[in-house]
Amino acid sequence: MASIELRNIRKSFGAVNVIKGVDLEVRKGEFMVFVGPSGCGKSTLLRLISGLEDITSGEMLFDGKVVNALTPSKRGIAMVFQSYALYPHMTVYENMAFGLKLEKGHSKEAIRERVEKAADMLQIRQYLDRLPKQLSGGQRQRVAIGRAITRDPKVFLFDEPLSNLDAALRVQTRIEIAKLHEGMHDVTMIYVTHDQVEAMTLADRICVLRDGLVEQVGTPMELYEKPDSIFVAGFIGSPKMNFLTGEKAEAFKCTTLGVRGEHMLVKPDGIWEGEVIHTENLGADTYVYLEMGQEEPIVVRLEGAMQHPSGSKLRVSPMEDRVHRFDEAGKPIR
């Protein structure tokens, strides 16, 4: 229910500048994902929005009102932590009701109703009387999400909520979070992750951060198709985009040529030749690593299970309309 605006936000811890002037607008009801390598300041930025950290300079606006000095609860946010952060001595019900009890002015029945509604949404109703230690990791994270929902926040913040879960559970919880967002249209959500698959699948828009600055903001497809820099191009997409320099790039009139593995075709008259050094067979896809005299081996993503023995030669060509050309500064040439 709130739009968030960051105006030249800076944060330093002592002499260390972590956030170096971020301007960003998060629209009402949007699912925004902050993504970036570790140490880029994405978690700090989230904590600044939450109010858990003080802003060093700049302005933070919720619905056009400056909230720099407001405490987290006054901002109307709820947060889900990476480590769940449940109250260990309280039952699931008490955990979820704690915030409402502190708010005052809610009758016992009203609190119960809201907790049970949230518990039903997350299918944790049967666990309401248990203590956190009696739950599995996935259940605990759902309780943490439930605790956030119960408070009916305007802004929902997630700090790497899935990184403590195992792979299968991560996918399942990811889908649940996506459904949650569909069911809560008017709630603005901000989600921090270092996992670009989570970012691509969940986000309405992604904000790529690098070294305390915003590198690019856009929909997942915009970032995938029109990255604003080599950094974004390399960060979004799996397997990582291939970068070619030297003669091969010059042939395309650029300093660095970016080609995604899925945009390469194996054909007898391919313009590049490489030696197969490794093959990863994922069932639906096969990643073939080719040595082409570049800094890193070139990855080619082929559909289906392919057999290319190591040491054999392979000729490939990029799809002409899917290459990304970058100049010396790492900016795209369009």
Partner 1 sequence: MGATFDYWKLTKTVLFYALVLVIVVVSVFPFYYAILTSLKSGTDLFRVTYWPTSISFENFRQVFSQGAFPRNLLNSVFVASVTVILALFLAVTASFALSRVRFRGRSLLLMTILAVSMFPQIAVLAGLFEVIRFLGIYNTPWALIFAYTIFTLPFTVWVLTTFMRDLPVEIEEAAIVDGATPWVIITQVFMPLMWPALVTTGLLAFIAAWNEFLFALTFTVSNDTRTVPVAIALLSGGSQYEIPWGIIMAASVVVTVPLVALVLVFQRKIVSGLTAGGVKG
Contact, 258 vs 242, CB < 8 A?
A: yes
Q: Which of 132, 227, 237, 258 binds partner 1 (CB under 8 A)?
A: 132
Tell me how far the alpha carbon of residue 67 is from its chain's centroid: 25
Please name the helix (run of DSSP H) or strand (run of DSSP E) that holds residue 183, with its range, or none.
helix 167-183
Identify which range of 20-28, 62-70, 83-91, 171-179 contacts partner 1 by CB under 8 A: 83-91
Task: Confirm or reject binding of residue 49 to partner 1 (CB under 8 A).
Answer: no
Q: Which of 134, 219, 310, 312 binds partner 1 (CB under 8 A)?
A: 134
What residues are paired with 276 via a beta bridge? 290
Contact, 21 vs 13, CB < 8 A?
A: no
Using CA atoms, how far apart are residues 25 and 32, in angstroms rounded to an integer?
10
Contact, 204 vs 30, CB < 8 A?
A: yes
Task: Confirm or reject binding of residue 81 to partner 1 (CB under 8 A).
Answer: yes
29: left (phi over 0), alpha (psi -120 to 50) or beta: left
If the CB atoms of residues 50 and 216 are measured against partner 1, the closer one turns out to be 50
Task: Confirm or reject binding of residue 129 to partner 1 (CB under 8 A).
Answer: no
Q: Which of 64, 88, 309, 311 binds partner 1 (CB under 8 A)?
A: 88
Task: Confirm or reject binding of residue 89 to partner 1 (CB under 8 A).
Answer: yes
Three-class HEC string of 46-69 = HHHHHCCCCCCEEEEEECCEECCC
Task: Confirm or reject binding of residue 98 to partner 1 (CB under 8 A).
Answer: yes
Q: Which of 56, 73, 238, 294 binds partner 1 (CB under 8 A)?
A: 73
Task: Confirm or reject binding of residue 278 to partner 1 (CB under 8 A).
Answer: no
Q: In this structure, what token pair is assigned to residue 194?
A: 């270092």
Q: Which of 8, 12, 57, 71 binds partner 1 (CB under 8 A)?
A: 71
Task: Confirm or reject binding of residue 84 to partner 1 (CB under 8 A).
Answer: yes
Residue numbers 154-193 binding partner 1 by CB under 8 A: 164
Using CA atoms, how far apart are residues 51 and 275, in angstroms rounded to an integer?
53
Strands 57-62 and 65-66, sheet pairing = antiparallel
Identify which range of 129-137, 168-176, 185-193, 209-217 contacts partner 1 by CB under 8 A: 129-137
CA angle 178/184/187 to nearest 5° reads 105
Using CA atoms, how far apart are residues 217 and 203, in angstroms rounded to an integer?
11
Identify which range of 99-107, 168-176, 189-197, 226-234 contacts partner 1 by CB under 8 A: 99-107
- Report in angstroms how near the CB of residue 248 gets to partner 1 at its nearest: 46
Which residues contribute to the site for partner 1 (CB under 8 A)? 50, 52, 71-73, 77-79, 81-89, 98-99, 102-103, 131-135, 137, 140, 147, 151, 164
